[in-house]
Structure 1
Amino acid sequence: MAKKDYEMLAAEIIELVGGRENINSVIHCVTRLRFYLKDHSRADTGKIKELDGVMGAVEASGQYQVVVGPAVDDIYKELTAQLPSTDDTDQKEEAEFISSDSRTIYGSVKNNFNKFIGLITASVMPVINILAAAGIIKGLLSVFTSFELITETGNAYLIINAMTDAVFYFLPVLVGFNAAKKLNGNPLLTAVIGGVIIHPSILEAAEAEANIFSLATFEFPFVTYTYSIFPMILAAWMIKKLEDWLKTWVSSYIQSIFIPIVVIGVVSSITIILTGPVLVGLSSGLANSLETMLNVNAPLFGAIINGFYQILVVFGLHWGIIPVYVNDFATLGYSYLSAMVSMTIVGQGGAALAVAVKSKKKNIKEIGYAGAFSAFCGITEPAIYGINLRFRRPFICASIASAAGGFLAGLFGINMWSIIGSIIGLPSFIDPQNGITANFWYAVFVTFFTLFSAFILTYIWGYNDKMTMDKKREKPKNPAKAD
């Protein structure tokens, strides 16, 4: 699509989700526009799905999600350019927005949970691709050093290593900045708090296992915050609340100086002394619990999670799991779960590739090859929505092959050191410390086993040209809302 086509598509999407007045806010992930709407019933899902450039639409996690594929960033920019700029009133309205079902206890819990997941998604999502790229570079750097193309004492290693470590080292700053934007808070002030907790002197004290102070038998230790995400999300929330409260009574003449002093002092202290150590401890507990669960029966766990994972993708719920991967990388430096899920991506790509190879229809071939290529680059939605779901059987074949791949990943204990999966992410299976090991070759074997299994199942049973692609249907009109 050309830029003018994105502009037109954005305008059509805005109209079909209920117009500008129905949109509280909108964010995006790798392939989806994620709307927070005042009234979901005003969105015409049938017509949205029929738009050229839209692959699907679904409601999940309190969001109305429109799947547009890899062009999401360009479409998002055009879309936000057409929406009215938010002033302080609009920001307050969005920050305090509560869905209509929150009048009940269940509705309130559901609403707050959806808002929490939305906050995590908005905080982590913008840095996912950067984390993935850095991880791949780190894997390649390990290969270069293994083959002595680069020495660890040379300047080339120093510079490239800085490229790979920067995003992980400054992750609290980036996550805090994104969280503050989502909360309509102060991104720069939040980023400063992130800088405080990763200051070299704090890190040195943490590495020396020093305590901030002791209270009776309780010790309050310094903690390493690089790679962490949850402490900064909570810090962003505290900054938002504290700054808003201070503005209600501090004279406007001294706000610009007084408020930053108080916020930096209070939030930094609370984060370093209390919430940071607690959340880092809980994060480590979550990662270790997952690792323990995998150790109980990793093959079975891998088969189950992989067999159903892409169903979560269909409903947009997989973004609730991705922070678990990031937490693994932050606390452990690796993730067995991410390694398993990587196989589901090539499974969907293998199924779409089989349809493209077997079909004699030009349009099916084009969609199938495009979907397969996208999946092999780590994005499954074009394969899922363009081919696999619309013929149904290819999706089933891909899920079966993915379950087998998850079983083998668990059986071999395959590990991963970066969040990017699929074929493009194979360098993520290279151990940064030990270079190419058996883990990498196991990953290569299971990746292509999953791909070929999905391909063969789909080619033999999952598709033929006599099958009819599922037609998109318009949402039935509600007579009560007729014009």
Structure 2
Amino acid sequence: MNDKELALKIIELTGSKENISSVRHCATRLRLVVKNKDKINVKAIESLNKVKGSFFNSGQYQIILGTGLVNRVYDEVIKVTGEEGNNNDEKIVYGNKFQRAIRTFSDVFVPIIPVLVATGLFMGLRGLLTQEAILHLFGLTTKSVPTNLLTFTQVLTDTAFAFLPALVCWSTFKNFGGSSVIGIVLGLMLVSPSLPSAYDVGSGAAKPLMFFNFLKVSGYQGSVLPAFVTGILGANMEKWLRKRIPDALDLILTPFLTLLIGMTVALFAIGPVLHTVETGVLFVVEKLLQLPLGLGGLLYGSFGQLLGIFGIHHILNFLEISMLANDGWNYLNPIGTCGNIAQAGAVLAIAIKVHDQKMKQVAYPSALSAALGITEPAVFGVNLRLVKPFIAAMIGGGVGGFLASIFHLKATGMGITGIPGTLLYLNEQLPFYILVNLVAFAVAFSITWLFCVPKEEKEEVVEPKEEKEVSSESLFAIASGVRLK
């Protein structure tokens, strides 16, 4: 079954395109908001080849496909449903206010994460190539590295975070129905070269501008919350203006008023307040992670995986992005990675020890996936279903997180964990990163092996049913709700 056929089959089993209100995706999951949950044939969807599982969370039906595949299937799905799904004016609301807020937060930050992942990798590689020990292998020193080459690497490592508010504002405008180009410009205004840089003001190299003899204003380099709220305000203001300004004046007045009012409110009201809030949140989180005796790492390493189950893990994106933009380090990544690797250890123990072939077929690839940083197949397909292996993974993650805190590990980027995550530690931390993850894996594996494998596996994993050959044209007709003659 190719990508198009898989997408059409998913649409058909979800109740046809008329039942799909909106379509989104993250790094591994296709996220559908549907009008009627009862029309979804969950078992049939989970039995499809390449589908690793599915679940409802935060008002969305989420189908686990894995990296790469999810992007291709999403592209095929929206060819049938339209980019935003059907009946966009009809609001389908699931979940409480907190769940909807988290979903909105996720929709804004997920599109910019790939850029930040790439930036983190650039930082790691730059750190590796400028280490004395590495340069010494080629008979060089740090003074031997050409200045122009260092400048080139700085362009790669600094650009995304220097203009982070523009990325956040663009994505917020897009998700709230505003014009993306206005969002980009409004975000760029927050870091305009005409304003004293937040970094320079923080270091004392520059002074903020003074308005009204009491209001200090500077750029918002590295800030996330001011750009996010400014984007929400600006997008809604633009939509409000377009409904009231005559068509003949819309092209001139709507962008003018949106940028003028948006920037004024952002600089003099939203920015100062939310930047203070953001700084306070980061301070609290970092202090928690730095609790004595590795207690912070123990707590986050143990319970971090629960955030994904409850659908609120995307709130961590804001914290990680802010940490990186603030001082160039991500303190959450090494501890969270231990939790992911522990899930791999637990599910591998299940794969080796159980006799049920169906379970083995799910558990082995899930272990590899978790080791590469994608834990959904392991968590939702095996560990959480059996409960005890998930608890064993929490213990393993806690032990690894404890050690990560003791060693003061910190990543150069975000978005990748496990084996690929080594690219974020290409410095003197690398041996410790490998050590803490091996410990997390070993603890989770050992506990699961000794105490958590059921004597007789009673859970059933649905095997893919043999399907008749159906043409792509037929699948398209079925998914679209069209009857073939």
1:378 to 365, 373, 377: 373
Taking a change above 3 Å as real, the CA distance of residues 168 and 45 of structure 1, as seen in their structure-2 partners, is same
Please, which runs of 5 or more residues in structure 1 have no aligned partner?
A: 101-106, 431-435, 474-483
Calculate the TM-score normalised by the size of structure 2: 0.82
Partner of 1:56: 53
Verify: 1:133 aligned to 2:118, yes or no.
yes
Partner of 1:273: 268
1:179 to 155, 172, 177: 172
Distance in 2, Cα, partners of 1:40 & 1:203: 52
Distance in 1, Cα, partners of 2:288 & 2:33: 35
Distance in 2, Cα, partners of 1:298 & 1:178: 40
Taking a change above 3 Å as real, the CA distance of residues 17 and 295 of structure 1, as seen in their structure-2 partners, is same
Verify: 1:99 aligned to 2:93, yes or no.
yes
2:10 to 13, 17, 27: 13
Partner of 1:103: none
Partner of 1:454: 444
**1:223–1:276 contact (8 Å) kept in structure 2:** no
Partner of 1:116: 101
Give secondary structure in 2 for the equivalent of 1:414: coil
**2:384–2:390 contact (8 Å) kept in structure 1:** yes
Question: How many percent identity over aligned positions?
Answer: 29
Q: How far does residue 176 in structure 1 lie from its aligned partner after superposition? A: 1.9
Distance in 2, Cα, partners of 1:229 & 1:311: 25
**1:360–1:465 contact (8 Å) kept in structure 2:** no
**1:190–1:235 contact (8 Å) kept in structure 2:** no
1:155 to 141, 148, 152: 148
State how 1:404-443 maps to structure 2 within 5 Å. 404-419=399-414, 420-429=416-425, 436-437=427-428, 439-443=429-433
State how 1:360-379 maps to structure 2 within 5 Å. 367-379=362-374
Q: How far does residue 344 in structure 1 lie from its aligned partner after superposition? A: 0.8
Distance in 2, Cα, partners of 1:472 & 1:317: 28
Instruction: Encode CA deviations 1:92-121: one digit per residue, 9 max, x unaligned.
Output: x26xx3638xxxxxx8xx33x333222211
Instruction: Encode CA deviations 1:311-361: one digit per residue, 9 max, x unaligned.
Output: 332343322333222222233432323321111111112233444555688
Q: Return the letter of the residue paired with 2:93.
A: S
Distance in 1, Cα, partners of 2:198 & 2:403: 42
1:36 to 30, 33, 38: 33
Distance in 2, Cα, partners of 1:59 & 1:205: 41
Partner of 1:300: 295
**2:171–2:180 contact (8 Å) kept in structure 1:** yes
Partner of 2:475: none
Distance in 2, Cα, partners of 1:34 & 1:374: 20
**1:347–1:450 contact (8 Å) kept in structure 2:** yes
Distance in 1, Cα, partners of 2:65 & 2:104: 21
Q: How far does residue 289 in structure 1 lie from its aligned partner after superposition? A: 0.9
Give secondary structure in 2 for the equivalent of 1:213: strand
Give secondary structure in 1 for the equivalent of 2:215: strand
Q: How far does residue 223 in structure 1 lie from its aligned partner after superposition? A: 3.1
**2:21–2:84 contact (8 Å) kept in structure 1:** no
Verify: 1:80 aligned to 2:78, yes or no.
yes
Taking a change above 3 Å as real, the CA distance of residues 204 and 169 of structure 1, as seen in their structure-2 partners, is closer
Give secondary structure in 2 for the equivalent of 1:318: coil
**2:8–2:77 contact (8 Å) kept in structure 1:** yes
**1:36–1:64 contact (8 Å) kept in structure 2:** yes
Q: How far does residue 75 in structure 1 lie from its aligned partner after superposition? A: 1.2
Distance in 2, Cα, partners of 1:203 & 1:98: 44
Please, which runs of 5 or more residues in structure 2 have no aligned partner?
A: 464-485
Verify: 1:219 aligned to 2:204, yes or no.
no
Instruction: Encode CA deviations 1:181-236: one digit per residue, 9 max, x unaligned.
Output: 211211111011112222223254862543333335x32221332x3322222222
Verify: 1:143 aligned to 2:133, yes or no.
no
Distance in 2, Cα, partners of 1:65 & 1:456: 31
Distance in 2, Cα, partners of 1:427 & 1:68: 24
**1:60–1:317 contact (8 Å) kept in structure 2:** no
Partner of 2:323: 328
**1:391–1:470 contact (8 Å) kept in structure 2:** no
Calculate the TM-score normalised by the size of structure 1: 0.83
Taking a change above 3 Å as real, the CA distance of residues 428 and 205 of structure 1, as seen in their structure-2 partners, is closer
Instruction: Encode CA deviations 1:260-310: one digit per residue, 9 max, x unaligned.
Output: 122122212222222123222211110001122233446333223322322
Give secondary structure in 1 for the equivalent of 2:185: helix
Q: How far does residue 29 in structure 1 lie from its aligned partner after superposition? A: 0.8
Distance in 2, Cα, partners of 1:142 & 1:85: 40
Q: Return the letter of the residue paired with 2:123.
A: K
Partner of 2:397: 402
Distance in 2, Cα, partners of 1:191 & 1:320: 23
Equivalenced residues, count: 449
Whose RCO is larger (CA < 8 A, sep 6+)? 2
Give secondary structure in 2 for the equivalent of 1:192: helix
**1:287–1:332 contact (8 Å) kept in structure 2:** no
Distance in 2, Cα, partners of 1:369 & 1:57: 18
Partner of 2:232: 237
**1:429–1:443 contact (8 Å) kept in structure 2:** yes
Distance in 2, Cα, partners of 1:296 & 1:63: 36
**1:372–1:383 contact (8 Å) kept in structure 2:** yes
**1:186–1:239 contact (8 Å) kept in structure 2:** no
Q: Return the letter of the residue paired with 1:396.
A: I
Distance in 2, Cα, partners of 1:37 & 1:174: 29
Distance in 1, Cα, partners of 2:128 & 2:187: 32
Taking a change above 3 Å as real, the CA distance of residues 463 and 206 of structure 1, as seen in their structure-2 partners, is closer
Distance in 2, Cα, partners of 1:221 & 1:417: 29
**1:124–1:175 contact (8 Å) kept in structure 2:** yes
**1:35–1:64 contact (8 Å) kept in structure 2:** yes
Distance in 2, Cα, partners of 1:371 & 1:298: 33
Q: How far does residue 135 in structure 1 lie from its aligned partner after superposition? A: 0.9
Distance in 1, Cα, partners of 2:359 & 2:93: 41
Q: CA RMSD in A?
A: 3.0
Give secondary structure in 1 for the equivalent of 2:62: strand
